[in-house]
Amino acid sequence: MARKKRAIEAFSLSFLDCICCGFGAIVLLLVLSKIYEPTILEKTNEDLQQLIAKLQEELFDIRGETEVMNRALGKVQLETSETKMRLSTLQKELNTVQGQYDLISTDDPLLNLDEGDLRAARQRLTEEMMNLRPFRRTPDDAVGGIPVDSEYIIFVIDTSGSMQAKWGWAEEKLAQVLDVYPRVKGLQIMNDNGRYMFQHYGGSWIEDTPQIRASIKQAMRTWAPFSDSDPTDGIQYAIETFWAPDKKISIYVLGDEFQGGSMESVLRAIDRVNIEDENGDRRVRIHAIGFPYNFTGTPPTSSQRFAGLMRVLCERNGGTFVALTERNR
C-alpha cells in the first residue's frame, strides 16, 4: 500500500528556532560592544591628547630652531654686507696704490731738479698730481721763490737713519732757511713724529734771538729721535697746536723719503686741518726740501714718493718744494 507523503512547512518550529538564535547572538554582540565602548573611547582620547601635546612640543622646538636660524641668517647677511663694503674699500685702495705706483714709476726728470740755495722753481706736474690739486692758485699757476711773509716758522724734520747719513747737509739747509728770515716772532723745531727738539718749549713758541738760533744749530748736530719717515703726523700736529688767526706761519718739511700709506689720504688729512678760506688762502704755508736718498743709481720708491707727495702738498698749501741733488752740496 503506498505511503502518503507529509507536506513540508516553510516556517516550522525548527526554522524559527534557528532564526531566533541568530537574532539573539546579534543582540548579545551589540550589548557586549556597548559595554566596552566608553573604555575604548577614553583610551583613544588620552592617546590623542598625548599626540597633540607631543606635536605641540615639536612645533615649539621647530619655532625655536627657526628663530635661531633666522638670527644666524641675519648675522650672515650682515657679515656678507660688511664683507662687500670691505672689498669695495680694498678695491678703491688698490686703485689708489696702483695709481701711486704708476706715478712713482714714471721717468720724470723733475725728480732730479737742481735747485741749490732755495732758488725759484716752476714745476711740471704729472696727470695724477693735476687731479689731486683742484685748488685756486695765482692766474699763471707759477711756483715762485719761497715767500718770506711769515712771522712764525716751524721745522718738521725727518730724523731717520737715512737722513742721519747726510745730517751735515740738513744742518746747512736749516741754517740757510733761518738766514732767509732775519727775525721772526717765534720758532719751533720738531721731527716728523712731532717730537720737539727742546722739550721744555713743547707746545709753545720759542723766542727768536741770536742765542736761540745758535742753540738750534748746536742741538741739530746730535739730534736723532726715532722717526718713521712719515711727516704727516708732524705737519698735522704743528698746525693743530700752533695755528692762530692772528699769526702768519710757515712750515718747512725736511726729508728724503715717505714710508707712509696712501699719498691721497695724507693730502686729505692735511686739508682737514689746514683749512682754505674764502680767498683760497690756507691757515699756514707748507714748504719742503727734498734730500736725495743716495747719490748713485735710481732713487728708491720711498724717495720718489716723498718728492711726489711734497710737490703736490706744497702746491696745495701755498708753498714751494725744493728738490736737492748732489750738485747742491
CATH code: domain of residue 182 = 3.40.50.410
Kindly list the strands in the beta sheet with 186-191, ordered across the sheet, starting from the edge strand earlier in the chain. Answer: 186-191, 152-157, 249-255, 284-290, 321-323
Number of residues assigned to the chain: 329
pLDDT, residue 134, reads 38
Assess whether 149 and 116 both reside in one domain.
yes
Please tell me the distance from the alpha carbon of residue 172 to that of residue 162, in angstroms, as a whole number: 17
Assess whether 127 and 214 both reside in one domain.
yes
pLDDT digits (tens, 9 = 90+) for 233-242: 999 999 999 9
Assess whether 86 and 117 both reside in one domain.
no
Q: How far is CA 126 from CA 133, 220, 271, 278, in A?
A: 11, 35, 20, 27
Please tell me the distance from the alpha carbon of residue 185 to that of residue 247, in angstroms, as a whole number: 9
Q: Which amino acid is at 54?
A: K
pLDDT, residue 46, reads 75
Assess whether 86 and 149 both reside in one domain.
no
Assess whether 202 and 273 both reside in one domain.
yes
Boundary residue ending a domain (49, 84, 105): 105
Please tell me the distance from the alpha carbon of residue 246 to that of residue 165, in angstroms, as a whole number: 39
pLDDT, residue 264, reads 92
The pLDDT tens digits along the chain (329 residues) read 455 555 555 556 676 777 778 777 777 777 666 555 555 556 677 778 888 888 888 888 888 888 888 888 888 888 888 888 888 777 776 766 665 555 445 444 444 444 443 433 333 334 434 444 433 333 333 333 566 778 999 999 999 999 999 999 999 999 999 988 888 999 999 999 999 999 999 999 999 999 999 999 999 999 999 999 999 999 999 999 999 999 999 999 999 999 988 899 999 999 999 998 888 889 999 999 999 887 676 788 889 899 999 999 999 999 999 998 865 55
What range does the domain containing 47 cover? 20-105
Place of cell 688729512: 269
Please tell me whether the overall predicted TM-score, pTM, comes out greater than 0.85 for this model. Answer: no
Assess whether 83 and 132 both reside in one domain.
no
Q: What is the 3-state secondary structure (H, E, C) of 138-183?
A: CCCCCCCCCCCCCCEEEEEECCCHHHHCCHHHHHHHHHHHHHHCCC
